[in-house]
Amino acid sequence: MPAEGGHSRPSQTASGFAALDAMVRPRSVAIIGASDDATRIGGRPIAYMQRQGFAGAILPVNPNRATVQGLPAFASVGALPQAPDVAIVAVPGEAAVQAVDDLGAKGCRAAIVFTAGFAEVDEAGAAMQDRLVAAARRHGMRLLGPNCLGLFNASINFYPIFSLSFEQGWPIPGNIGIASQSGAYGTHVFAVSRMRGIGTPVCITTGNEADVSLGEAIGWMAQAPEVEVICAYAEGIRESARFTAALDLARRNRKPVVLMKVGRSELGGHAAKSHTASIAGDDTITQAVLDEFGVVRASTTEQMLDIAYAATKRIYPVGNSLGVITVSGGAGVLISDAADAAGVPMPPLPEASQAHLRSLISFCAPRNPVDCTAQAVNQTELFPQFLETTAADGGYGSMMIFLTQTAGSTTLSPKLRPYMRAAREKFADRLWVLCGIAPPEKVREYEADGFLVFEDPTRAVGVIEAMGRYGAAFAAPPAEEIVVPQVALPATTPSEAEGKRILARAGIPAVPEKACGSADEAVAAAQSFGFPVVAKILSPDILHKSEIGGVLLDLNDAEAVRAAHATLLARAAERAPGARIEGVLIAKQIKGAVEMALGIARDPVFGPVAMVGLGGVFIEILKDVSFRRCPFDEAEAERMIRALKGFPLLNGARGRPKADVKALAGALAALSRFAAGADERLLSVDVNPLLVLPEGQGAFAADAVIEVEAAP
């Protein structure tokens, strides 16, 4: 339980997402605006459900007809013989608002609103959408849309959707769900999947998301037995709590999520003032959230479906590595390059294993990739030994066999396939991928044997990498609940000195320093710390002091400190004449430290996000940074630090002493708790540099800016 005075993140349980059952898995459906014409928006769902055999009640509402497509029609919602679980609303404007109100009064539990002309159009439409939502909430109804294409659940032949895609074919059996903010693109993914022979029995499109969001659609799939793999398409995340709860539930239930997120933009508002915000565009923060929950991001439809197809095998290697058996040396080089680019290790076979394979074919190249050459398919009895040795001795999490056209050969594939099937069955915990060219019926045979089949080995490497990422995410222990303090922010942006005092109370110590109102005070402070010292102008209005020459280093005696005091006051008067000056800050100058930067940016969707990277000017030049949603613990902070390309600078590169990574991680985690405990007036925090001393000696803030929106 959270400690008194603290709070923790909200969450949503599987039972909470199951509240959408009435919408996605109903026993009865009403159609408001039902049409006798099966080609119209109000007619297609009826035609689809009748054709496919939906077993529930279909209740058309049309005041002008006694029957609709052979079904009894009802003149109004009030005339319905029962309260439907869900209703399709396909009437325009205010009539849609009235229909939702009438449905709620009847006892309907959910509505799927096809009608457009709401918030996507103008302010008047937005106001009408507000009335639509209010009508639903008065009655405890859930609402999909408005301006949505609908959904389908082929497992129960439920098709409350007006897409034309079913004219070319129906969903095929499978376990992949599609959640999409775009109706047309969601059904595009379905249609391409069907053409590739990939089964997608469930698709939910969310339209304007006036109520049900993409996150809830993902969350329903995360707890639904119909779905084992989730494909999602997002143009923008409108709310975070249900979205992150859904991703967390999917991870806990070992259901991979592959997401295509389009649209990239910079954080607005305070980017110019905050180093952190200036390099943390919305897309960067979204990516950090996806990484947190083990979501794999796709950039193309092909890539999305490749990953989803591979995930249907439900083999997610932990500590993934790749072993390759190839009949082509050139393909082996191509695969090795792709694996290196993707970060998939390809460790060599043990020397004894390599020697054994050379004893079979003296001119083979058995390191890894294992080039068995065409001789192994000329003497097919040798092929199983290459398979067995590589799989058994290499310990690889994933295995790839490159056979090119041999995979479809009418003379050789019947001989090789039993060997391959036997190896896959013996090492069933591995992810097995075949790269080859074969007719569709032959491909299906290999897939029935348990192989993923790709023509392009580069695409195959991409999905192998993705399966390893899922494996790491699913194997990670569940995050412990983090209790954060209640943080009282100052009324306005504090000075550097006050900012560092605030952060020190939060667990981020500062270098020894003192705010001085006179030159004599400055000299006394310097003498108490010991030379050399640093002098800085102290003002809440000058956030980046170096830009006005407001920082002076290497002050080695009292005379230098007096001169620095005068210089800083003169520069401030000249270069920032309107700034409030609180004096000069004297701080002990620390030598032999690694300069790091910590920061907080407030994302409009995900709230405070923490950053760590190399300090000084390098953060903006190199942008070698890690981001994570707040709050998090010290273990996660250390993972962020170790993910930096510059981590060797902290880990004793080129004879340097190892830095105090533990202290750095502690400061980063403390900053994340501070940000999570503060209210929305906290706009940003920059601690740059944070001086990280050698191992065991700590880490100290040398400069800090806390940007706060003025209290009303």
Question: What structural domains does the chain harbor?
Answer: 15-255 (3.40.50.720), 322-475 (3.40.50.261), 512-588 (3.30.1490.20), 594-708 (3.30.470.20)
Token pair of 452 as six digits: 């993923």
Token pair of 129 as six digits: 């959408």
> What is the rounded distance in angstroms from the CA atom of residue 19 to the CA atom of residue 86?
12
Query: What pLDDT was estimated at residue 279?
Result: 41
Reference 82, options 119, 53, 109; nearest CA is 109
Reference 136, options 182, 102, 171; nearest CA is 102
> What is the rounded distance in angstroms from the CA atom of residue 595 to the CA atom of residue 592?
9
Task: Kindly report, residue by residue over 341-380, the tens digit of the pLDDT.
Answer: 999 999 999 999 999 999 999 999 999 999 999 998 889 9
> What is the rounded distance in angstroms from the CA atom of residue 244 to the CA atom of residue 103?
31
**Which amino acid appears at position 300 of this protein?**
T
Under the banding of pLDDT at 50, 70 and 90, the label for residue 425 is very high
Under the banding of pLDDT at 50, 70 and 90, the label for residue 264 is low
Task: Kindly report, residue by residue over 433-466, the tens digit of the pLDDT.
Answer: 999 999 999 999 999 999 999 999 999 999 999 9
327 close to 404: Cβ distance less than 8 angstroms: yes
Under the banding of pLDDT at 50, 70 and 90, the label for residue 408 is very high
DSSP single-letter state for residue 590: P
For 513-517, what is the mean pLDDT? Answer: 94
Q: Strand, helix or coil at 191?
A: helix
221-225 long-range contacts (CB < 8 A, ≥24 apart) are 221/177, 221/179, 221/250, 221/255, 222/14, 222/17, 222/246, 222/249, 222/250, 222/253, 222/255, 223/14, 223/15, 223/17, 223/18, 223/249, 223/253, 224/24, 224/25, 224/177
Query: What pLDDT was estimated at residue 270?
Result: 40
Query: What pLDDT was estimated at residue 272?
Result: 33
Token pair of 665 as six digits: 């991680």
**Residue 705 exposed, middle or buried by CB count within 10 Å (0-12, 13-18, 19+):** buried
Under the banding of pLDDT at 50, 70 and 90, the label for residue 711 is confident
Task: Tell whether the torsion through CA atoms of 109, 115, 120 and 123 is positive or negative.
Answer: negative
> What is the rounded distance in angstroms from the CA atom of residue 278 to the CA atom of residue 284?
11
Share of the chain above pLDDT 90, in %: 86
Token pair of 222 as six digits: 């995360």
Question: In whole angstroms, how large is the CA radius of gyration of the chain?
Answer: 31
Query: What pLDDT was estimated at residue 6?
Result: 36
What is the four-CA torsion angle of 360, 365, 369, 371, rounded to 10 degrees?
-60
293 close to 251: Cβ distance less than 8 angstroms: yes
Token pair of 280 as six digits: 């943390």
Q: Which residue has the tokens 């520069």?
A: 571
Is the confidence at residue 576, as pLDDT, over 70? yes
Token pair of 372 as six digits: 């068995």
> What is the rounded distance in angstroms from the CA atom of residue 582 to the CA atom of residue 570?
14
Query: What pLDDT was estimated at residue 273?
Result: 38
Query: What pLDDT was estimated at residue 621?
Result: 74
Q: Which residue has the tokens 């508002």?
A: 269
In sequence order, the β-bridge partners of residue 433 are 400, 452
Mean pLDDT across the chain: 93
Is the confidence at residue 554, as pLDDT, over 70? yes
Query: What pLDDT was estimated at residue 280?
Result: 44
Task: Tell whether the torsion through CA atoms of 238, 242, 244 and 247 is positive or negative.
Answer: negative
159 close to 190: Cβ distance less than 8 angstroms: no
User: What is the phi/psi pair of residue 530, to 5°?
Assistant: 95, 135
Reference 398, options 460, 341, 480; nearest CA is 460
Q: Indicate the pTM of the whole model.
A: 0.89
The helix (run of H) or strand (run of E) holding residue 436 is: strand 431-436
> What is the rounded distance in angstroms from the CA atom of residue 212 to the CA atom of residue 223?
16
Reported in sequence order, the residue ranges of 241-397 that DSSP labels E, i.e. its strands, are 257-261, 296-297, 322-326, 370-371
Reported in sequence order, the residue ranges of 80-236 that DSSP labels E, i.e. its strands, are 86-89, 110-113, 142-144, 151-153, 176-180, 202-205, 229-234
Reference 285, options 305, 302, 299, 265; nearest CA is 265
Under the banding of pLDDT at 50, 70 and 90, the label for residue 479 is confident
> What is the rounded distance in angstroms from the CA atom of residue 159 to the CA atom of residue 166?
10
Q: Which residue has the higher pLDDT, 180 or 4?
A: 180
Under the banding of pLDDT at 50, 70 and 90, the label for residue 563 is very high
Q: Which residue has the higher pLDDT, 121 or 66?
A: 66
DSSP single-letter state for residue 484: B
Q: Which residue has the tokens 């981590």?
A: 647
142 close to 116: Cβ distance less than 8 angstroms: no
End-to-end C-alpha distance for the chain, whole angstroms = 33
DSSP 640-701: HHHTSTTGGGTTTGGGPPPB-HHHHHHHHHHHHHHHHHS-TTEEEEEEEEEEEPBTTS-EEE
CB atoms within 10 A of CB 500: 26
Under the banding of pLDDT at 50, 70 and 90, the label for residue 268 is very low
Reference 323, options 393, 428, 386, 400; nearest CA is 400
Task: Kindly report, residue by residue over 609-656, the tens digit of the pLDDT.
Answer: 999 999 866 677 778 899 999 999 999 999 999 999 999 999 988 778
Reference 598, options 584, 580, 586, 614; nearest CA is 614
